[in-house]
Amino acid sequence: MTELSGLQIFKHLPAAKKGEGTNCKKCGFPTCMAFALKLAKNQAGISLCEHASSELKEIFEYGMKKSQQEITIGNVKIGGENVLYRHDKTFINPTAIAIVVDTDKPNWQEKLERIKNFEITRINDTLKVDLIWAKGKHAETIQGMGVTVVCDEKLPLVEIKEDSFQKTAEKLVFTREKAVLEKDENYSTPVYVHLEHTEDLNDLCARAAYYICKYANMLMFEDFDEAMISTLMTLRQNIFTDPQKPLKVEAKVYEFNNPDENALVFLTTNFALTYFAVANELEALNTGSYLIVTPSDGMSVLTAWSAEKFTAQIVAKSVTTAGLAEKVKNKRIIIPGLLAHMQDELQEAIPDFEIVVGTNEAYLISDFIKAL
């Protein structure tokens, strides 16, 4: 992989210098420029041209080196990261959460049961513990949990011993920088931190949160606390989503508080943050409501409108598909206040409903409904 443009590559090929081999076609392409363009798109390999400069070959060899290996344990993928900051591209594999179950300790079955039953849903993901590290006399008996179980084996990862918080954090950052910035093979193995038992779960949670951000590929906990793991998994989900792909929810009609024929009807786009902001407010209303969520590639309302993903035609189709004209007496659709300029256009496209302009901010919905 290289970040060089076709023109930058071309400068290293014979045709740019009128050197030996110029446009000789031995690479399978009609000209050096054609080959350069293919290389830039990673659609050809540098080895096809025997005349390329040694400097160019070195650049490509370096580009082919992996920053960090990706290791698979059971069905858990760990590592494979190649950037320092999520917004540079994206992080690849979420920090795996592993829990130690020591079968020589009392109450290990109860702990195991809680791990097994632990499951939370955030946005569209169902999140569970990734891995169990089973120890002790009965370790081999822990199977069929729906979670990867590792029994007293040597992990194919490098442990960063948790010393003081500061030293551990520094080691994690140093290791990732070596792997990503220098592609140093001595630091290319994914790393984990083993967090010992503590009575202070807040402190444990704070340390673990930092290690998720920078740069543990796996965290192994002696303690299993549902609230703490939920917090960490929610943070992890935020860090490890691809910043180029907006989080979205399914475009459909959502119901709140058992809506009946007197229910209110709201409308918004399928951008996850918008949806959850509105959904929380609708849940808190003491009346039933429907929320029509339109397909908009996960864009917020104004972005969707400017990208023509929230047009009167798209909205009208969503309203018709929702089939609410027969379900509600109160034929009003409350649209986001930010789309007030579309009111007339929407009214024309959806003649069965009165289009009402709602609030700019979701937290104002409750007061808006009282005034309505």
Q: Within a 10 A sphere around the Cβ of 266, how many other Cβ atoms?
A: 26
Cβ at position 37, least distance to ligand SF4 in Å: 11
Cβ at position 166, least distance to ligand SF4 in Å: 52
Q: Which is nearer to ligand SF4, 56 or 73 (CB)?
A: 56
Q: Do residues 312 and 333 lie in contact, with contact meaning Cβ atoms separated by under 8 Å? A: no
Amino acid (one-letter) located at 339: L
Name the residues that contact ligand SF4, by CB under 6 A.
Answer: 13-15, 21, 23-27, 29, 32, 35, 49, 51
Q: Which is nearer to ligand SF4, 47 or 234 (CB)?
A: 47
Q: Do residues 189 and 79 lie in contact, with contact meaning Cβ atoms separated by under 8 Å? A: yes
Cβ at position 14, least distance to ligand SF4 in Å: 4
Structure tokens at 87: 């917004």
Is the N-terminal amide bond of 211 cis, ω within 30° of 0?
Answer: no
Q: Which is nearer to ligand SF4, 9 or 219 (CB)?
A: 9
Cβ at position 3, least distance to ligand SF4 in Å: 20
Q: Cα–chain-centroid distance for residue 44?
A: 30
Q: Within a 10 A sphere around the Cβ of 249, how many other Cβ atoms?
A: 19
Handedness of CA 73, 76, 80, 83 (dihedral sign): negative
Q: Which is nearer to ligand SF4, 37 or 212 (CB)?
A: 37
Q: Which is nearer to ligand SF4, 34 or 98 (CB)?
A: 34
> Distance (Å, rounded) from C-alpha 119 to C-alpha 121?
7
Cβ at position 62, least distance to ligand SF4 in Å: 20
Q: Which is nearer to ligand SF4, 13 or 127 (CB)?
A: 13
Cβ at position 64, least distance to ligand SF4 in Å: 18
Q: Tell which residue, 252, 260, 280, 79, has the closest CA to residue 180.
A: 79
